[in-house]
Amino acid sequence: MSKGLPKRSENYSEWYNELVKRADLAENSAVRGCMVIKPYGFAIWEKMQRALDDMFKATGHQNAYFPLFVPKSFLEKEEEHAEGFAKECAVVTHYRLKSNPDGKGLVVDENARLEEELIVRPTSETVIWNTYRNWIQSYRDLPILINQWCNVVRWEMRTRLFLRTAEFLWQEGHTAHATREEAIEETARMLGVYATFAEDWMALPVLQGAKTPNERFAGAEDTLCIEAMMQDGKALQAGTSHFLGQNFARSFDVQFTSREGKLEYAWATSWGLSTRMMGALVMAHSDDNGLVLPPKLAPIQVVVVPIFKTEEELAKISEKMVPVIDQLRAAGVSVKFDDDDNQRSGWKFAEYELKGVPVRLAIGMRDVESGTVEIARRDTLSKESKPLEGAAAHITELLDEIQANIYKRALDFRESNTFVVDTWEDFKTQIENGGFIVAHWDGTSETEEAIKAETKATIRCIPFNSVEQAGNCVFSGKPSSKRVIFARAY
Amino acid sequence: MSKGLPKRSENYSEWYNELVKRADLAENSAVRGCMVIKPYGFAIWEKMQRALDDMFKATGHQNAYFPLFVPKSFLEKEEEHAEGFAKECAVVTHYRLKSNPDGKGLVVDENARLEEELIVRPTSETVIWNTYRNWIQSYRDLPILINQWCNVVRWEMRTRLFLRTAEFLWQEGHTAHATREEAIEETARMLGVYATFAEDWMALPVLQGAKTPNERFAGAEDTLCIEAMMQDGKALQAGTSHFLGQNFARSFDVQFTSREGKLEYAWATSWGLSTRMMGALVMAHSDDNGLVLPPKLAPIQVVVVPIFKTEEELAKISEKMVPVIDQLRAAGVSVKFDDDDNQRSGWKFAEYELKGVPVRLAIGMRDVESGTVEIARRDTLSKESKPLEGAAAHITELLDEIQANIYKRALDFRESNTFVVDTWEDFKTQIENGGFIVAHWDGTSETEEAIKAETKATIRCIPFNSVEQAGNCVFSGKPSSKRVIFARAY
């Protein structure tokens, strides 16, 4: 169980890999770079999906579904986009296997070669904009506000569970608008939805800002992002929202008649958030004992472990606990009552710690006599004895408190690991210790690339809340008007 | 809008194709055989998913996610399974494109050829059982009750929206059990879930039964199915549940230590239901005016069309309708208030008929004065005027009544198009008129194939409720102990 989980301080990377596997979140599959998301991990992803989907619908979006395959010619149409994705894509060339004429097994049937190769979608801008051409004739057809939940494939060479996998699950929003302003507004709105989701649901504080041109999505005019800090001080890009201008409308000839009767190209946005967020969730909050899950995303929010020797004892404990459990469930709390007698309670305690269950209740015969229950918090690992009377209300409040505490802990961590740096010497020293560096940058790609080459740090974002301030680029010494965020990143 | 929709009696097939497109359910994509599921169609599918997913969870199943790709060697392991799927699969052979050295665009990079080809999953038994090998060591690890929602690809040569597409969405359940009996019980349980879903949610009466060996899933020992009748008298297989025996456990070496300490192969089931059901929903209930949706699956259950000339009139109508709408929403009814003044109410009436909205409320100034509202049912196309007072309660009941009526109508249709047939002459005559034929069959594949060759009718199922009865095969005259269901099918 948690015995033998590597310590974060000793090997953060191993700790993560082991924790994802031992907590039953995911495992590597036999297919290179593809993962199996196990039921416990998938239950968390389902909660994420539900929360996001509700927010998408509340902001006027509808779900739809577009094909898995992208014809090669579609990918070619938007040049930057093609360049960005061509090098890492799964290519379907044939549509049939046949029995091996020279022996056992199956071989590709060369008579079933596709006239045009199909790419397994790495993202769906091309397929969707090719479809939108038929949907958009007039300004009255706009806006189109669509999202899809699906799988995508990017043939990454080095993969890690959740963080970087050849196949991953995500949602991708694709909207079309009559004006530039409306599309820019949508881009910002959806970044806001992601930030709210990260902070309110994942308990993950995020910086909001824009990417530098170097780091933009292939085909975008502007890429907004939310960036989070992991416990090793590295950054993780947690969601992106792109203003695509008229690039895809031009590539796929999507024109509409405006209110003024003119023919114009539609304006586009796209925005995505993936199972990568599962990795962020683990890396941001968990500890050497296992997962620490924010209550709002925990599949099991409260586990009850009865401590008993006989069936009679179990019956007495159940009698006391059932009303509490009923009250919790009535309040919408998911509760597991674990009366499995094949495992000792010590084993169970360790198991639920590993799985990150926010609140654990333990109750034995002494508690039954005194009318109390032991309440343990996963986030602080603290315990207290409380009267059964009123326990449900207390636990409901406690779940909110844990949610807030996990967020605050992550925010404190980020703040104490964010450094304002003004000299190149300080930059080089600081980046070795991890964290976010807030420094002036001269705005050129050359400087950005030189800094990356020397320190592996990238500009995570030009934060929205950055104030105008005259200064000098930390690398080149050239004038700069605002500070940006540098970090090493996942 | 609905103007020009072909009539069912004239061209049922064209009626279906046109209706699916005009009602905004789905359309063909630029990728051969793949469809775009449009927001309105997807909203229905989401309701189906939610209903099924709740039932899966209520019967102890959990969701998970397995890779999109199946290594070719996996497909080869179970012979019948391989034979069943090899001829219609999308094969990934390369993982990179490159710029065309001889000109424009992208070409497959021959240096990026996969060592082993990957098949885009046509179904996931192989990938999942390869994973289960590591999950199952002891009887204590069983049962495993897992479902996944995903896309699959079968390279069909002739495709039709929803009914037969190269890519489709579905759920596939894959369970592992310690005993044969338990697996058989699970197979039946999940067929029962499908039947309940079809009847209670889709208002679609289904026959439950077993497939003949010829029609079994490739790799199954037994395939159970639900079969529904469409309005042209053809059958549509609406969901299947397979008892896989130990076939996949043997192919992938999944053994466990039993309670008695013996090493045994695990027992398997799999069961799936797909977006094909969207086609069944359309074909079973809809009419020449458009969709007829069962209220439980309708994205919009009630539409309110105010009939007004001025803003003042609209305000007066709204004042009257808001309390009714609020009461309906409080009762969980989805209501759309369509005050768009760009369209005439006649156009709206036709549009909502086309879209299958179960209840339409129309209210004009005369209704405001008399305190009434016109309530139109989509299923019967009947209208009545009702007092606003108590309207919400009446409509809520009406939705239940419509759900029941649609089911009953489909059941009556099936019953009046089900024929007990005893001679081959009658069989040949009857099959031309459509419907289900209940006839004796000698139990041989030869007879089954001969009947299919001569009449295009297949054995849809050996119904569970078929009684033992001595008779003679309708084709061969050989002895038979029970009647089976023949039909032409989608």
Q: Which domains does chain A have, with CATH numbers?
A: 12-68+126-285 (3.30.930.10), 300-397 (3.40.50.800), 418-487 (3.30.110.30)
Q: What is the structure's pLDDT at A2?
A: 45
CB contact under 8 A, B65 and A37: yes
In this predicted structure, the answer to whether residue B341 has a pLDDT above a threshold of 60 is yes
Report the alpha-carbon distance of residue B408 to residue B205 in Å, rounded: 8
Measure the CA–CA gap between A207 and A187, rounded to whole angstroms.
Answer: 16
Residue B157's pLDDT is what? 87
Please report which residue ranges of A59-165 form alpha helices under DSSP H.
Answer: 72-77, 79-85, 125-135
CB pair distance less than 8 Å for A96 and B91: yes
Q: Which residues contact B362 (CB under 8 A, 6 or more apart)?
A: B304, B305, B306, B307, B345, B349, B373, B374, B376
Host H or E run for residue B456: none
What is the complex's ipTM, to 2 decimals? 0.96
Give the residue among B286, B270, B57 at the shortest CA–CA distance from B162: B286
Q: Which residue of A has its CA nearest to B60?
A: A39
Q: What is the mean pLDDT of chain B?
A: 96
Chain B residue numbers with beta carbons less than 8 Å from the beta carbon of A92 are 90-93, 120
Other CB atoms closer than 10 Å to residue A56's CB: what's the count?
A: 21
Which of B39, B92, B131 lies at the smallest CB-CB distance from A64? B39
Asked if B87 lies within 8 A of A96 by C-beta distance, the reply is yes
Q: Give A86's contacts in chain B (Cβ within 8 Å).
A: 96-99, 106
Q: How far apart are CA B262 and CA A435, in angstroms?
A: 55
Contact at CB, A67 and B34, closer than 8 angstroms: yes
Q: Shortest Cα distance from A45 to chain B (angstroms)?
A: 10
Residue B255 has pLDDT above 60, yes or no: yes
pLDDT in tens, A87-110: 999 999 999 999 999 888 999 999
Read off the tokens for A189. Answer: 């709105």
Which of B42, B118, B155 shows the shortest C-beta gap to A65?
B42
Does B467 have pLDDT greater than 90? Answer: no
The answer to whether residues A488 and A456 touch, using CB atoms and an 8 Å cutoff, is yes
Q: What burial class does residue A253 get, using C-beta atoms within 10 Å of its C-beta: 0-12 exposed, 13-18 middle, 19+ buried? A: exposed
Spatial distance between the Cα atoms of B160 and A11, rounded to a whole number of angstroms: 54
Starting at the edge strand found earlier in the chain, the sheet holding A235-245 runs: A62-63, A144-153, A167-177, A267-274, A235-245, A222-229, A207-210, A458-463, A483-487, A436-440, A418-420
Closest CA to B305 of B277, B354, B262, B341: B341
Say how far apart CA B356 and CA B336 lie, in whole Å. 13
Secondary structure class of A258 (helix, strand, coil)? coil
A31 in contact with chain B, both atoms CB, cutoff 8 A: yes
For residue A78, the model assigns a pLDDT of: 85
Helix (H) or strand (E) holding B103: none
CB neighbourhood size of B405 (10 A): 16
pLDDT of B2 reads 45
Helical segments of A310-344, H only: 311-330
Beta bridge partners of B128: none
Structure tokens at A453: 């080459």
Name chain B contacts of A94, Cβ cutoff 8 Å. 90-91, 93
Tell me, what's the pLDDT at B1?
44
Instruction: State the pLDDT at residue B78.
Output: 85
Chain B nearest-CA distance from A143, in A, is: 14
Read off the pLDDT of each residue in A396-400 and give the average, rounded to a whole number: 98
> Tell me, what's the pLDDT at B461?
97
Q: H helices then E strands: how many in chain A?
A: 14, 27
What's the confidence (pLDDT) of residue B81?
86
Is B34 at the interface with chain A, CB within 8 A?
yes
Furthest CA-CA distance within chain B:
82
Say if B119 is an interface residue toward chain A (CB within 8 Å): yes
Strand order in the sheet with A91-94: A69-71, A113-120, A91-94, B91-94, B113-120, B69-71
CB proximity under 8 Å: B 211-270 to A: none
Nearest chain A residue to B166 by CA distance is A67
Q: Return d(Cα B485, Cα B419) in angstroms, integer.
A: 10
Contacts of A342 in chain B (CB under 8 A): 140
Q: Is A65 in the B-facing interface, judged by CB distances under 8 Å?
A: yes
> Looking at the complex, does the CB of residue A70 fall below 8 Å from at least one CB of chain B?
yes
A146 in contact with B, Cβ within 8 Å = yes
For the cut 90, the answer to whether the pLDDT of residue A134 exceeds it is yes
Task: Give yes or no for residue B3 having a pLDDT over 70.
Answer: no
Q: Is A39 within 8 Å of B64 when comparing Cβ atoms?
A: yes
Among B437, B440, B441, residue whose Cα is nearest residue B420 = B437
Interface membership of B74 toward A (CB under 8 Å): yes
In sequence order, the β-bridge partners of residue A361 are A304, A375
Q: Is the pLDDT of residue B110 over 60?
A: yes
Which sign, positive or negative, has the C-alpha torsion A321, A327, A329, A333?
A: negative
Out of A293-302, B256-265, B435-444, B465-474, least confident range: B465-474
Report whether pLDDT(B344) > 70. Answer: yes
pLDDT band per the 50, 70, 90 thresholds, residue B104:
confident
Phi, psi values for residue B265, rounded to 5°:
-80, 145
pLDDT value at B5 more than 80: yes
Average pLDDT rounded to a whole number, residues B243-248 = 97
Instruction: Note the pLDDT tens digit of each residue in A427-446.
Output: 999 999 999 999 999 999 99
Percent of chain B with pLDDT over 70: 99
Mean per-residue pLDDT for A59-67? 98
Q: Tell me the mean pLDDT in the region B173-198.
A: 98
Q: Tokens 């059941």 sit at which residue? A: B411
Instruction: Tell me the β-bridge partners of B316.
Output: none
- The CA distance from A100 to A97, in Å, is 9
d(CA B461, CA B444): 14
Residue B240: closest CA among B219, B222, B221, B223: B223
Instruction: Tell if the CB–CB gap between A108 and B96 is shorter than 8 Å.
Output: no
Whether the CB of B446 is below 8 Å from some CB of chain A: the reply is no
Tokens representing residue A51 in the block = 């929360």
The share of chain A scoring above pLDDT 70, in percent, equals 99
On whether any CB of chain B is under 8 Å from the CB of A69, the answer is yes
pLDDT value of position B90: 97
A67 and B117 within 8 Å at the Cβ level: the answer is no
pTM (whole model) above 0.95 = yes
pLDDT (tens digit per residue) in A111-127:
999 999 999 999 999 99
Structure tokens at B55: 């039932």
In A290-394, where do the E strands start and end? 302-306, 335-337, 359-363, 372-377, 383-387
pLDDT the model gives residue A466? 86
Residues in A touching B34 (Cβ below 8 Å): 67-69
Lookup result for tokens 């999944």: B254
pLDDT of B146-171, one tens digit each? 999 999 999 988 999 999 999 999 99
Contact state of B146 with A90 under an 8 Å Cβ cutoff: no
